[in-house]
Amino acid sequence: MKHIVILAFAVLAFTATFAQGRTDFPMKPEMTEIWDPEVTVVTPGVTPQDAPSDAIILFNGTNLSQEWLNEAGGEPGWKVTDGCVTVEKGTGTITTKRQFNDFQLHIEWRSPSEVIGESQGRGNSGVFLQGIYELQVLDNYNNRTYRNGQAGSFYKQYPPLVNVCKGPGVWQMYDVIYTAPRFNTNGTYFTPPTVTVLHNGVLVQNHVALRGPTPYVGIPEYFVKPHGAGPIILQDHGNPVSYRNIWIREL
């Protein structure tokens, strides 16, 4: 016990020496340099929209069969043409075969050039993270709706910081950084899912903590259930919204 006490006093004295700025034990630059393991090399795309070398290409512009299923587990019914995929009304959502936790997602979308409807009835779709947290897709160019239901919102939770929607028929981009939730043993969030979103290069969600999955009716917290990795789901809301250039990086 005596030796332990002496050692403890020695450690405190050593710590105090540095805290007081003594020069008896001078620091050297290399003492704070970390060399290994070496940082992994990833080749970026030519433009920010291009997939980097470590990305998983979820849609390459030619077919859905490799990475996507319909909600019944079969072949998706959406139409693929001219390098993009478009919602076919009534065929249902499409979902990735792969499951994801933390990720960086890039996805481009376009509302119909022919304007039909207003508010939520105009260019409506959605990107569901882990299959349950909806990032809203909507034509909000000169089209007002409730602020926590417009493009760039996490539906019924967080409105976007700004509305940066382009006009109907013009391609738009979402870039998403997502950290999946972790759960306590009682099923509540230990850490909630957090998300940062750039819409057309503009920050619209700044590391927000989601309160729960996306209900159409009700409060998100009431719907929280422990879950693991989940898919990316694209919504069929009855409007012919198109998507292209979809890639993801697991973090």
Is the pTM for the entire model greater than 0.85?
yes
Q: Give the confidence band of 121 by pLDDT, cuts at 50, 70, 90.
A: confident
Domain contains 57: yes
Mean pLDDT across the stretch 208-215? 94
CA angle 241, 54, 247 (to 5 degrees): 5
pLDDT digit string (tens) for 12-66? 555 555 555 566 788 999 999 999 999 999 999 999 899 999 999 999 999 999 9
Q: What DSSP designation does 119 have?
A: G
Domain contains 21: no
- At residue 20, the pLDDT reads 58
Mean pLDDT across the stretch 223-238? 94
**Which are the contacts of 130, defined by CB distance < 8 A and separation ≥ 6?**
100, 101, 178, 180, 193, 227, 229, 230, 231
Containing 243, the helix (H) or strand (E) segment is: strand 242-250
Q: Give the torsion sign (CA, 149, 108, 165, 202).
A: positive
Look at the chain and report how many structural domains it folds into.
1
Mean pLDDT across the stretch 232-242? 96
- At residue 9, the pLDDT reads 52
What token pair was written down for 54? Answer: 């470590």
Residue 244: give the domain boundaries. 40-250
Q: Give the torsion sign (CA, 94, 127, 169, 61).
A: negative
CATH number for 221: 2.60.120.560
Mean pLDDT across the stretch 75-96? 95
Domain contains 18: no
Distances (CA, A) of 6 to 9, 11, 14, 19, 99: 5, 9, 12, 20, 54
Domain contains 104: yes
Domain contains 28: no
Domain contains 124: yes
- At residue 70, the pLDDT reads 94
Domain contains 12: no
Q: Are 209 and 190 in contact (CB under 8 A)?
A: no
Domain contains 2: no
Question: Picking from 7-11, 128-132, 224-228, which range would have the lowest pLDDT averaged per residue?
Answer: 7-11
